[in-house]
Amino acid sequence: MRPTGIEVRPLTGGIGAELFGIDLAEPLDSQAVAEIRQALLDHLVIFFREQELTPEQQLAFARCFGEPDIYPFVQGLPEHPEITPILKLEDERVNFGGIWHSDTVYLEQPPMGTMLHAKELPPVGGDTLFANQYLAYDALSAPLRGFLDGLRAVNSAAKGRVSQTRQARIDDRGTGMDPEDLSAVHPAVRTHPETGRKALFVNVAHTVSFEGMSEEESAPILQYLFQHQIRPEFCCRFRWGPGSLAFWDNRCAQHNPVNDYHGHRRLLHRITLKGDTPG
């Protein structure tokens, strides 16, 4: 195999790596695609710096790894509906998706991955946190792992805290979809289809209960898991720069955009890639 020149630099001991030596605006050969995919599988979220991409180039890069999907609640770019503008305006206090979550797990087939490309950034702030859900599962006690292995989690698009984070964008670019219409039941612990590893697959934004249990019965267990799964040793923090692109594996990583840049505009272009039915 000839060398591609791609350099992988891990960010932490638990999750995240930056990739250097590649221009994503150029077509990628099969070897480069394979190396990037392996870096994603190894590190769960990968970052590229100073990538000047048009929407067409971002879509071409995304299609190397899967089929772009349409976000159900907010219209995409007029010419590229697969690209959702992730925007916070100067006068807004709530940021889009500003809570720990996995993307759209209220769908029967949640995304396999998500890509964000920085278009406009605040002078400081607006970092994104990521958490490794393999490590979160592995760090649980054996009895709790055994208990969770047999449970399925109910996920809803209508859970209150996350609904508030997207309301401003729905008001100006909404599709008319009712969040109450989207819910799905998935294993509380999913097995990654490529690595075979187990990962926690519940999140505070969307998971409301365990199947067959009431919300009241589920709440103490879920509250423990929501705190456990974002322990610092499972996490990394990415500081965006001009042209930065982040690509994460939605099947085993959660993320949380930090809302610490009031008074400034922030715009990123998001693409989600279609996934499979969690198992």
Active site residue ranges: 101, 103, 255, 270
Strands 245-249 and 17-20: what pairing?
Answer: unpaired
Q: Which amino acid makes up residue 42?
A: D
- Rounded Cα distance between 40 and 116, Å, is 14
CB 260 within 8 A of CB 140: no
Query: Both tokens of residue 165?
Result: 């984070």
Query: Both tokens of residue 178?
Result: 């009712």
